[in-house]
Amino acid sequence: MNIIKSVKEEIAIIRQRDPAIHSNMEVFLYPSFKVMLHYRLAHKLYVKKHFFLARWISQRAARRTGIEIHPGAQIGKGFFIDHGNGVIIGETTIIGDNVTLYQGVTLGGTGKETGKRHPTIGNNVMISAGAKVLGSFTIGDNCKIGAGSVVLEPVPPNSTVVGVPGRVVKRNNVSLPQDELDQVHLPDPIKEELQSLRAENEAIRQRLKQLEEKT
C-alpha cells in the first residue's frame, strides 16, 4: 500500500510542476519518477546498513536516468528534478520539502571535509540548471539559486543567489510558491553595476558641459 501511495505522490508532484506532462502514463517515462522510486528503496536499504545492495540500486538508476543520488542522502517530501540529466546528490546531503532541481545541478563536497561533507537544502528551494552547491553548509528556506552559480558558503533564508562564486543579490523575498519557479528573471548584479556607472558617467559629462558653457 505504501508503494502505491508513493507512486501517486510522485505522479502528482511531476504533473504539478512540469507542463510538458499531459497524462499520468507519461510520468512513468520521466527520469525524475524513475530515479526517485529507486532512491526510496535504496535509502531504506542504506539505513539498514545494506550498503552494497543500496549502491547497486542507485548506480543502476544513475545509468538509466543520468541522475546520481547517493542512497545515504536524506530527501524530504515534494522533491522534483526537472529533466535531470547530470544531477548529482552526495551521500550526506539533506534536502527539505518541496525542493526543485534542474539539469546539471551538483550538491557535492569540496574534497576537504569529513563526516557531513555535503550541503543541507531548506524547504521551498529552487536550484537552477548547472548550479553547483559545494560543501557542508545550509541553503535557507525559500531560496533561489541562479543557473550556473557556484555556491561555496551558507545562504540565509529568502535569498536569491547568482554568480561565480555565488553572491546573495536579493533578500527577504516572499516565500517561493511552486507556480513561480522562474529561472530567468533573476537580479543581475553586473548589469546593475554597469547601469549605475553609466548614470554616474552621464552626470559627470553633463556637469563638465555646464562648466564649459560658463567659461
What pLDDT, in 10s, does the model give residues 39-66? Answer: 999 999 999 999 999 999 999 999 999 9
- The CATH architecture assigned to 2-184 reads 3 Solenoid (2.160)
Which cell goes with 190? Answer: 553586473
- pLDDT, one tens digit per residue, over 88-138 is 999 999 999 999 999 999 999 988 778 899 999 999 999 999 999 999 999
CA distances 51 to 37, 39, 48, 72, 113, Å, are 17, 13, 8, 9, 21
More confident residue, 195 or 130: 130
pLDDT, tens digit, for every residue of 12-27? 777 777 777 777 888 8
What gap in Å lies between CA 30 and CA 34, rounded to an integer? 6
In this structure, how many other beta carbons lie within 10 angstroms of the beta carbon of residue 147?
17
Minimal CA–CA distance to 81: which of 133, 157, 30, 155? Answer: 30
Query: pLDDT, tens digit, for every residue of 166-190?
Result: 888 877 755 444 445 555 556 666 6
Per-residue confidence (pLDDT) for residue 179, from 0 to 100: 45
This model's pTM is above 0.95: no
* Residue with grid cell 564649459, as numbered in its chain: 212
